[in-house]
Amino acid sequence: MKQNWLEIILIWVMVAVMTVALVISLPRSVILGPFAAVLAGSLALVSLIQLFRAEPKGFVRRLVYVGGGSYLILTIATAYVWLRL
């Protein structure tokens, strides 16, 4: 499971970096679409890794952790974007 945590944390870091880049570069009126694409991309990435790994054990857990963590990161970013002046 240690390798799984490394995979999950690296995906979370990528989501956080992309989220910060989007918050800096896009206006608040169009930010939700790209945020949805980042969330979908994180889930697609963990699914793609699973496809190449071909190890069914723990797939749903990785999917839930990646999706939940990415959703939390994007929720915090959304709150920041909508609450800033």
Provide DSSP, 17-68.
HHHHHHHHHS-GGG-HHHHHHHHHHHHHHHHHHHHHH---TTHHHHHHHHHH
Binned at pLDDT 50, 70 and 90, residue 21 comes out as very high
**Could you tell me the pTM of the whole model?**
0.88
Indicate if the pLDDT at residue 52 is higher than 90. no
The more confidently predicted of residues 85 and 19 is 19
pLDDT of residue 31: 92
